[in-house]
């Protein structure tokens, strides 16, 4: 199973389920622009998971990183006097 979510006009997240020999893992990749990979998060699970929703752990980490990128871009605009 995999999902692809557009966050805005520049960023998107790819979420993927992968079977492993002892359980499974979720992989999330944050992409910018023309599919340039910005970050990668992976969580391995043995047997069961207690996430509130599928891909919760990896998607939250990607969204935190995305939020940091936005804050950094806004900060750079401020210090460069573009705001």
Contacts of residue 82, defined as CB under 8 A and 6 or more positions apart, other chains included, come to none
What count of other Cβ atoms lies within 10 Å of the Cβ of residue 69? 16
For the chain, the structural domain boundaries read 2-79
Higher pLDDT, 79 or 33: 33
Contact present, 57 and 43 (Cβ < 8 Å): yes
Higher pLDDT, 83 or 23: 23
* Single pTM value for the model: 0.67
């Amino acid at each position: 199973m995999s999902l692809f979510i557009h966050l805005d006009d520049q960023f998107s997240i790819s979420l993927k389920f992968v079977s492993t020999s002892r359980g499974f893992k979720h992989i999330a990749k944050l992409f910018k622009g023309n599919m340039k990979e910005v970050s990668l998060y992976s969580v391995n699970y043995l047997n069961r998971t207690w996430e509130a929703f599928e891909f919760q752990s990896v998607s939250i980490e990607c969204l935190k990183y995305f939020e940091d990128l936005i804050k950094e871009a806004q900060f750079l605009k401020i210090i460069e006097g573009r705001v």
